[in-house]
Structures are given as structure tokens and as C-alpha cells.
Amino acid sequence: MTFDLPFRSLHLDSGPSLRGGQWQCLRLVEALGREATLLSPAGSPCFLEARRMGLEVRPLGVLALRRLSRWADVVHAHDARAHTLAALFTSAPLVVSRRVMFPLGRGWASRWKYGRVARFIAVSRHVAHVLEQGGVSADRISVVYDGVPLLDRAAPGKEVVTLASADPGKGVALAIEGARLAGVPLRRIESPPEGLANAGVFVYITHAEGLGSALLAAMSAGVPVVASNVGGIPEFVRHGDTGLLVENTPERIAAAIRRVLDAPDFAALLAARARRMIENEFTVPRMLEGTLNAYRRVLA
């Protein structure tokens, strides 16, 4: 799906790894076609993946940013450092994707930086609420959920899997202890959809989360999910309907794992409902159209 648009967009991503935000950026640039250019650090995973996908990508630097922002009708920053660079070195209308739920700074530099943004794209209603609490008016915020590809359905399995992460904000230790109490081994994977082929349940435990794109990928693959009841996660993991929400205690996590593994019909129902939700609400075209609507608001 590629758009032919009457405006040109410049995209900035400075992330050191390929995570949910980078994949959303790449999918967006791919769909926008020849009128979109990406700036990303040379040799970064995002830069290399963009090259592999055949996208228009160049090394992120101040000179390239200054020059290309004069070409662009809108500049879209996809992470916090990119936001800072765009605020400092561009004059084109600035759109910023906000994926995290950290509170906004109160100092003059933070107020200036956030004041430079024409429109924020919040990854969830929860993140939009955090922006509003930080002083951003609601009429400058669009909520646009991530879009994920519709994956081949994983064959029903019995393995319990979770993300491998060294981030202390992610509750890997809690997931490990929960699986131990449930009496099952826990396999850690780098990122969905890899590693889901024999998964019976995907466990996603975190202390804070703007949305949780790994959960969306697992749901797209038809794997039942158990997830922390925090941040933007309850906006799509609907307890007992599209997955199970838990408090962050090993006992609650263990009980949810056992509930899914011990009731195959219930697990299949969760997975089917989640897959239908992805098909209706969290597709890449839905994400693209929401982003384009945000651009149109800026350029009207």
C-alpha cells in the first residue's frame, strides 16, 4: 500500500535498535513512497533495514537535517532525540510521535522543545493523557495506534514465551518467577513473530508501557497473551476477551498462565477474538491513515 501525496515528508529516527517505534517508522516511510525520506544514524539497525527495504534513507546529521528540512513540507520525529534535533535545526512544521508514558519536563528547555511541535501522535489514549497532564492541549494530539502485519497463525502449542530484555522497566524477573510457580519453563525470545511457532501463551510483564507492540504481534499470530494491567495495554488487551490482564505479582502471573494452558478452548477463543481485533483496529493501513490525518491537520 503506497500513497501518492501532494506533500513531502522527512522522517527522523535515532534509535539504536529495531523496536516497535522503528518498525512503525519504517512501515510508514515505505507506504509514503518517493515523497518520504528517512534520516537515521549510519549503520544503525533502522538504517540498515531501511536500505534492505529499498527506502530512501540517509545518515542522520545536522547538515543533512538542515538541507532536507527545507525540501520537506512536514518533519516527523519518531523518538525523543530526533525530537530535540528537529526542534533545534528545522523550521518546517514538526510532528512528533510519542510512545512513552514518562511525564514531561517542567523546565524552560522542555517547554520550548514541546512548544515547537505542531502536532503530537500519541501511541495510545494513556500516552495522550500524559501529554495533556504535561501541559499539551488536547487539540494538538492525535491518537494513532500501531499497525502490525497480519501474520500466519501459529500452530497451537504449549510453550510459554516472553521477551528477552535487559530493560529494568520490563518485568522479566517477575515473568520468570510466575512461570516457575506455574510449573512450566519460560522461553525468552528477541522479538515476535520469531519464536512463536510453538507458543501456547505469550507473557508480557512490564512496569510501564505506552502501548506494547510485541503484544500486538503475538495477537496477530493467534497466540493467547497474558499482560500487565498498566499504561496503554488495557486499551487492547481486554481482560477475558482478547487476553488476560494481571497485576505484577508472581502469583497472579502464574494463575493466568495456568488458566490459559489448562483450558485449550478458552485459549483458542482468546486468540480468535484478539486476531479479529487486530484485523479491524490495528492494521498497517489504519495506522497510515491516522498518521496522514495528523499531517493534514498540520498542513491545512
Q: With 90 as the cut, is the pLDDT of residue 200 above it? A: yes
Reported as a single tens digit per residue, the pLDDT across 136-147 is: 999 999 999 999
CA distance to 18, 21, 102, 260, per residue, from 105 (Å): 26, 21, 9, 41
pLDDT score at 194: 81
Task: Read off the DSSP letter of residue 118.
Answer: S
pLDDT grade for 5, boundaries at 50, 70 and 90: low
Report angle CA 261, 280, 19 to the nearest 5 degrees.
70
This prediction's pTM: 0.92
pLDDT: which is higher, 195 or 245 = 245
Q: Are 223 and 199 in contact, with CB atoms under 8 Å apart?
A: yes
- pLDDT tens digits, residue range 91-137? 899 999 999 988 888 889 999 999 999 999 999 999 999 999 999 99
Spell out the domains of the chain, with CATH numbers in brackets: 9-147+283-299 (3.40.50.2000), 159-281 (3.40.50.2000)
Distance CA 101, CA 98 (A): 8
Q: How far lies 162's CA from each of 46, 189, 204, 263, 271, in Å?
A: 23, 6, 6, 20, 16
- The confidence band for 4, taking pLDDT boundaries of 50, 70 and 90, is low
